[in-house]
């Protein structure tokens, strides 16, 4: 089960409930379950639970926010908080050393990083000094040919010597060095990495870890940091693992900054890590902050439309909705998560239709829709002006085309 969905479900369970100690406690329980399943460390889970519980019960919602949105926002904030801080690499001439255990994604990440810098106007050279795996040389060489950066490697030579020789030859602004791995960090590897580090004198020593190791990432981050002093972490395979949250939060707990996440096998599948964006996406709310801000800016009022349909008010609301962005995000912000795509699309279509109908109505007609209902000429004029066909015309057309189970919808019916 996907971590984001578990959390989204936990939040949506709140809708319609009174926010009190018992509903918050059950929310927190659900969130704990989700976090533990994503392999987030129990201490982190305990801390975040406490904070969510305290804040949800103590803090008052901001004006214009419902209690549900308020709680969702707290959960979001606290998740962002445990995912630490991102950091971006400087776009400058520099030397970068990648390290990590076997299969963590080092060699692929060399290629991805190269593409990242090249897209930003820097030239890149890579040096292969992974001497532990026979195929390492060919693998990186192939990637360099595909992505188009300079490659340097030598076989049957100590890795620090390869670095020494390579540095004299390569010309890229950014020099990225791929190093040997192991199945665990042992003395021998530590020695090797230290020597490579001495010969290279890199600006960045980046640890590459795979998301699927979950909270074990903490141990790796600590060990590599003690051995050579890491300057940042890249978490790969975020696409294929439900443990990404565990890996990221446990790296964050060591105080190391996460630079990128790997999101696939292709060379473009590298994203700068941004905790807000990551958590937002988990929760299905791509941009929670800006959505809340927008809701306040446009001053969406939640008052029910009562009594007669006032078309001007309806139109104002339509316009406010449009200003807030795609319907999907609006729906998500009020807890309607995982709505079927078709429903969203149909509703968006309807909104467009309503708007063009209203725009084709005169002021007088908007004030007094009765005028339209009783007058076929007015209906035809509005239908022409808005491009929205009358319901009876549509029916004829559908019959002509042989639609059998035509479902009558209210959308676009100007005679209502
Ligand atoms: P290394 O041993 O640390 O150099 O790891 P590699 O770069 O050779 O990667 C090991 C495997 O993981 C390869 O099959 C890669 O294609 C794959 N891989 C690396 N990064 C990612 C990622 O972000 N997502 C996915 N799905 N696969 C990845
Ligand atoms: Mg490799």
**Nearest atom, ligand 1, residue 101 CA:** 3
Answer with the one of 82, 109, 135 that is the final residue of a domain.
82
* Bridge pairing between strands 258-262 and 174-179: unpaired
**Nearest atom, ligand 1, residue 112 CA:** 20
Asked, for residue 294, whether it belongs to a domain, the answer is no
- Whether 78 and 103 map to the same domain: the answer is no
State how far the alpha carbon of 169 is from the alpha carbons of 125, 140, 143, 156, in Å: 10, 17, 19, 18
Distance (Å, rounded) from C-alpha 205 to C-alpha 201?
Answer: 9
Ligand 1, atom 16, residue with closest C-alpha: 265
pLDDT tier for residue 303 given thresholds of 50, 70 and 90? very low
Asked, for residue 337, whether it belongs to a domain, the answer is yes
Read off the CATH number of the domain in which 192 is found. Answer: 3.40.50.300
Could you tell me if the CB of 103 is within 6 A of ligand 1? yes
- Whether 219 and 113 map to the same domain: the answer is yes
| Residue 376: Cβ-neighbour burial (10 angstroms; 0-12, 13-18, 19+) | exposed
Mean pLDDT of the chain: 85
Supply φ then ψ for residue 254, to 5 degrees: -85, -5
What spacing in Å lies between the alpha carbon of 39 and ligand 2's midpoint?
A: 26
Q: Which of 149-153, 210-214, 252-256, 356-360 has the lowest mean pLDDT?
A: 356-360
Question: In 268-379, which ranges are E strands?
Answer: 270-272
Distance (Å, rounded) from C-alpha 193 to C-alpha 156?
Answer: 17
Q: Does an H or E element contain 391, and which?
A: helix 391-401
Distance (Å, rounded) from C-alpha 134 to C-alpha 155?
Answer: 9
**Mean pLDDT along residues 370-398:** 74
Greater confidence, 229 or 348? 229
- Whether 238 and 100 map to the same domain: the answer is yes
Chain segment 308-350, per-residue pLDDT in tens: 456 777 777 777 777 777 777 777 666 566 667 777 777 777 7
Distance (Å, rounded) from C-alpha 11 to C-alpha 337?
Answer: 10
Could you tell me if the CB of 108 is within 6 A of ligand 1? yes
Contact 125, 171 (CB under 8 A): yes
Report yes or no on whether pTM surpasses 0.85: no
- Whether 212 and 336 map to the same domain: the answer is no
What spacing in Å lies between the alpha carbon of 58 and ligand 1's midpoint?
A: 45
**Nearest atom, ligand 1, residue 178 CA:** 4
**Nearest atom, ligand 1, residue 240 CA:** 26
Nearest Cα residue to 248 out of 266, 257, 2: 257
pLDDT of residue 292: 57
Chain segment 169-199, per-residue pLDDT in tens: 999 999 999 999 999 999 999 999 999 999 9
Read off the CATH number of the domain in which 348 is found. Answer: 1.10.260.30
Distance (Å, rounded) from C-alpha 269 to C-alpha 285?
Answer: 21
- Whether 325 and 237 map to the same domain: the answer is no
pLDDT of residue 113: 98
- Whether 173 and 25 map to the same domain: the answer is no
- Whether 30 and 122 map to the same domain: the answer is no
pLDDT tier for residue 91 given thresholds of 50, 70 and 90? very high
> Is 296's pLDDT higher than 80?
no
Answer with the one of 82, 115, 139 that is the final residue of a domain.
82
What spacing in Å lies between the alpha carbon of 105 and ligand 1's midpoint?
A: 4
Q: Does an H or E element contain 261, and which?
A: strand 258-262
pLDDT of residue 66: 81
Could you tell me if the CB of 269 is within 6 A of ligand 1? yes
Q: Which of 100-104, 149-153, 189-193, 383-387 has the lowest mean pLDDT?
A: 383-387
Distance (Å, rounded) from C-alpha 351 to C-alpha 2?
Answer: 32
Nearest Cα residue to 208 out of 322, 70, 100, 61: 100
Asked, for residue 414, whether it belongs to a domain, the answer is no
> Is 415's pLDDT higher than 50?
no
- Whether 323 and 255 map to the same domain: the answer is no
pLDDT of residue 98: 98
Nearest Cα residue to 333 out of 290, 303, 277, 304: 290
**For residue 290, what are its two tokens?**
């800006």
Distance (Å, rounded) from C-alpha 203 to C-alpha 258?
Answer: 16
Answer with the one of 282, 298, 333 that is the final residue of a domain.
282
**Nearest atom, ligand 1, residue 108 CA:** 7
Q: Does an H or E element contain 260, and which?
A: strand 258-262
Which residues span the domain enclosing 17? Answer: 3-82
Contact 231, 205 (CB under 8 A): yes
Could you tell me if the CB of 411 is within 6 A of ligand 1? no
Contact 358, 351 (CB under 8 A): no
> Is 19's pLDDT higher than 90?
no
- Looking at the structure of the chain, the number of domains it has is 3
What spacing in Å lies between the alpha carbon of 108 and ligand 1's midpoint?
A: 6
pLDDT of residue 393: 56
Asked, for residue 306, whether it belongs to a domain, the answer is no
Chain segment 127-173, per-residue pLDDT in tens: 999 999 889 999 999 999 999 999 999 999 999 999 999 999 999 99
Asked, for residue 399, whether it belongs to a domain, the answer is yes
Could you tell me if the CB of 112 is within 6 A of ligand 1? no
129 — alpha (psi -120 to 50), left (phi > 0) or beta? alpha
Pocket test for ligand 1, best of 113, 236, 244 (most atoms within 8 A of CB): 236
Asked, for residue 301, whether it belongs to a domain, the answer is no
pLDDT of residue 88: 95
């Amino acid at each position: 089960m996907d971590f984001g969905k578990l959390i989204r479900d936990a939040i949506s369970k709140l809708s319609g409930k009174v926010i009190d100690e018992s509903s918050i406690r059950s929310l927190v329980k659900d969130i704990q379950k989700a976090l533990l399943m994503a392999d987030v460390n129990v201490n982190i889970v305990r801390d975040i639970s406490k904070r969510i519980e305290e804040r949800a019960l103590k803090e008052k919602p901001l004006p214009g926010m419902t209690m549900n949105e308020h709680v969702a926002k707290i959960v979001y904030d606290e998740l962002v908080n445990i995912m630490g801080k991102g950091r971006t690499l400087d776009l400058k001439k520099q030397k970068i050393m990648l390290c990590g255990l076997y299969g963590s994604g080092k060699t692929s990440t060399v290629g991805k990083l190269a593409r990242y810098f090249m897209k930003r106007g820097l030239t890149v050279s890579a040096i292969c000094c992974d001497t532990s795996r026979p195929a390492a040389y060919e693998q990186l060489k192939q990637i360099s040919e595909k992505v188009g950066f300079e490659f340097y490697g030598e076989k049957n030579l100590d890795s620090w010597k390869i670095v020494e020789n390579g540095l004299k030859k390569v010309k890229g602004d950014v020099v990225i060095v791929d190093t040997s791995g192991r199945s665990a960090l042992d003395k021998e590897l530590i020695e090797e990495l230290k020597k490579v580090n001495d010969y290279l004198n890199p600006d960045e020593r980046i640890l590459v870890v795979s998301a699927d190791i979950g909270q074990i990432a903490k141990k790796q981050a600590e060990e590599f940091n003690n051995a050579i002093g890491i300057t940042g972490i890249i978490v790969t395979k975020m696409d294929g693992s439900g443990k990404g949250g565990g890996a990221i939060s446990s790296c964050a707990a060591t105080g190391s900054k996460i630079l990128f996440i790997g999101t696939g096998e292709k060379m473009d599948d590298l994203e700068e890590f941004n905790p807000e964006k990551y958590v937002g996406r988990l929760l299905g709310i791509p941009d929670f902050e800006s959505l809340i801000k927008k809701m306040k800016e446009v001053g969406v009022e939640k008052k029910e439309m009562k009594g007669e349909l006032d078309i001007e008010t309806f139109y104002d609301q339509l316009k406010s909705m449009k200003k807030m962005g795609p319907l999907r995000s609006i729906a998500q912000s009020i807890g309607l998560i995982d709505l079927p795509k078709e429903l969203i699309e149909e509703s968006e279509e309807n909104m467009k239709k309503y708007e063009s109908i209203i725009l084709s109505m005169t002021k007088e007609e908007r004030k007094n829709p009765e005028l339209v209902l009783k007058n076929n000429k007015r209906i035809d004029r509005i239908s022409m002006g808005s491009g929205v066909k009358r319901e009876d015309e549509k029916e004829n057309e559908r019959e002509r085309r042989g639609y059998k189970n035509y479902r009558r919808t209210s959308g676009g019916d100007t005679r209502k």
